[in-house]
Amino acid sequence: MNPASNANPAVLIRANPSLALVKYWGKCRFGRNRPASTSLALSLAGLTTRTELRLLPPGAAADQMTLGGQIQPDERFAAFFDQARRLYRHQRRYQAISSNDFPSAAGLASSSSGFAALALGCAALAGQAAGADFPATGDCLAADGLSARQLTQASALARLGSASAARAVYGGWTWLPAGAAAAIPLQAAGFWPDFRVLVVVASRSAKADSSRGAMNRTRASSPYYPAWLRDAVAVSREARLALYRRDLERLGQLARLSYSRMHASALAADPPLLYWLPASLVAIQCCAELRTAGIGAWETMDAGPQVKILCEQKDIAAIRAALSVALPAAGLIEASPATGPTLAAWPSEWVEGFGQP
Ligand code: DP6
C-alpha cells in the first residue's frame, strides 16, 4: 500500500453475523485460530454490524477500536491489526468505530460480523490506497468490489479475530472446514429464499464466558471433547447434502444434533459451561411441540442463552403465535439469508467528520 496516495482513506462496511447450523467448537492446537471442527453456516440479514474504518495519520501510536461507544481492549484486536499491516504492507494504525443493531457478546455471533467488517474494511482500504477502481458513493456488494482472491484473504484475516468471522465475509451459506485458513461460500442467499431464522432473545446481557475461553476450557478439560470432534465430521457432511437438497427436516435434525453435542461437551468441562436459561428451555420445548403439530421449527443455540429457530417463511406466523403464548416477554428477531456484506467508499470531505452517521 502506498499511504501517500490517499492521505486519510476511510470506508464504511455493513456485515451480518454468521449463524452456524453445524458448529465450530474448538481450535486446532497450531495454526492461529483455525477451527478443529467443520462448520456450516448462514449469514443473517436482519442483524447488522456497521463499521467505519480509517487509517490514522502516520505516527499515530496505537490502533483504536470502539464498539457501541466503548473503547475495546487492545489485546483482543492486536493480532488482527498487526496481520492486516503485514498482509497489506504498510505501517499505519487503524481506527474503527463499530456498532451492532442487536445485543453484542450475547451469543448472537457479533464477533463474526464484527471481524468480518473489519477485515473487509482493511481489504477495501488497501484497494482504495492502491488506486483500485473502487465505488465512490453508495453501497455495493463486497463481491462486486473485491476479487475472489481478495475475499479469501479477507476471510483468513477475519479468522484471526474470530474463526466464525471467516464465514461472515460472505453472504448466503458458507462452509469452514476443520483446519482451514478461510471459509468457502457454498450457496448464495437466493438458493433458499424462504429459509428463515427466528431469534428468541432470552437475555440481552453480555455472556460471562467468551466463546474463545469456553472452547479452550472444553478442549482442555471435557472428557467428551474428543467424541464431539469425532462425531462432528459425519454431521457436517450430511448437513451439507441436506442443504443442497433444501431438506429442512434433515438439516434441522442435524443442526439439533450439532448444537446438542457441542453443549454436551461444554457442560462436561471443568468448571462446567452452562449457557441455558429457563427461557431457552421453554423455547426448545415450544419447538418440539410445534414439530409434533407438523410445523418445521428446528432450534439451535450457540455460546449464549438465545435460541435460534430454523424454519420456512410459511410457518413464521404459527411459530410467532406459539412463542407469544409460551414466552410473552422474549424479544424476537426475524432473519433471512443475507446477500453479503456491503461496502461504501467515503468521499474525502467526510473524512474530517469521521464518526458522523
Ligand atoms: C458457538 O468464532 O466467536 O458460535 O474464534 O474464539 O473468536 P473465536 O470463537 P467464535 O466462536 C463461535 C462459536 C459458536 C459456533 C459457530 O459460530 O460456529
Domain ranges (residues) in the chain: 3-188+339-346, 195-337
Asked if 155 and 325 count as a contact pair (C-beta separation under 8 A), the reply is no
- Residue 346 has a pLDDT of 54
DSSP-assigned letter for residue 35: B
Among protein residues, the one whose CA lies closest to atom 2 of ligand 1 = 164
- 317-332 pLDDT per residue, tens: 999 999 999 999 999 9
Element (H, E) at 70: strand 70-71
Which atom of ligand 1 is the closest one to the Cα of 159? 5
* Residue/partner pairs of 30-36 with CB below 8 Å, 24 or more apart: 31/179, 31/181, 32/79, 32/159, 32/160, 33/159, 33/160, 33/162, 33/163, 34/159, 34/163, 34/179, 34/180, 34/181, 35/163, 35/176, 35/178, 35/179, 35/180, 36/178, 36/179, 36/219, 36/229
Residue 206: band (very low, low, confident or very high) from pLDDT cuts 50, 70, 90: low
For residue 94, the Cα-to-chain-centroid distance in whole angstroms is 21
Domain 195-337: give its CATH code.
3.30.70.890
- The CA-CA-CA angle for residues 251, 203, 18, to 5°, reads 40
Q: Which atom of ligand 1 is nearest to the CA of 39?
A: 18
Residue pair 15/116 in contact by the 8 Å Cβ criterion: yes
Radius of gyration of the chain (CA): 20
Query: What's the CATH fold of domain 3-188+339-346?
Result: Ribosomal Protein S5; domain 2 (3.30.230)
- What percentage of the chain exceeds 70 in pLDDT? 87
Asked whether residue 309 carries a pLDDT value surpassing 80, the answer given is yes
Q: From ligand 1's centre to the CA of 30, what distance in Å?
A: 17
The phi and psi torsions of 269 (rounded to 5 degrees) equal -70, 165
Q: Which three cell numbers stand for residue 243?
A: 442443504
Task: Give pLDDT, residue 125.
Answer: 85
Same fold yes or no, 3-188+339-346 and 195-337: no
| 105-159 confidence digits (pLDDT tens) | 667 889 999 999 999 999 988 876 655 554 443 444 344 568 889 899 999 999 9
Nearest ligand 1 atom, CA 302: 1
Give yes or no for residue 216 having a pLDDT over 50: yes
Using the mean position of ligand 1's atoms as its centre, give its distance from the Cα of residue 159 in Å: 10
Q: How far apart are the CA of 10 and the centre of ligand 1, in A?
A: 28
Query: What's the mean pLDDT when you consider all of the chain?
Result: 89
**Mean pLDDT, residues 89-109 taken together:** 87
In angstroms, rounded to a whole number, what is the distance separating the alpha carbons of residues 168 and 159? 10
Band of residue 68 on the pLDDT scale cut at 50, 70, 90 = very high
Cα of 107 from ligand 1 centre, angstroms: 9
Task: Please give the distance, rounded to the nearest whole angstrom, from the Cα atom of residue 25 to the centre of ligand 1.
Answer: 7
173-176 and 39-45 as β-strands: parallel, antiparallel, unpaired?
antiparallel
Tell me how far CA of residue 332 lies from CA of 5, 64, 283, in angstroms: 46, 33, 11
Q: For residue 292, is pLDDT > 80?
A: yes
Confidence of residue 102 (pLDDT cuts 50, 70, 90): confident
Between strands 307-312 and 195-201, the pairing is antiparallel
More confident residue, 347 or 154: 154
Torsion sign across C-alpha atoms 300, 109, 126, 350: positive
- Report the percent of the chain where pLDDT is more than 90: 75
Q: Which of 7-11, 254-258, 261-265, 339-343 has the lowest mean pLDDT?
A: 7-11
Residues contacting ligand 1 via CB (< 6 Å): 20, 23-25, 33, 39, 109, 111-112, 162-164, 211-212, 302-303
Q: Which three cell numbers mark 270?
A: 471443568
Ligand 1 centroid to residue 24 C-alpha, Å: 6
3-state secondary structure of 82: helix
Q: What angle do CA 311, 184, 9 make, to 5 degrees?
A: 105
pLDDT of residue 103: 80
Provide DSSP, 84-115.
HHHHHT----EEEEEEESS-TTSSS-HHHHHH
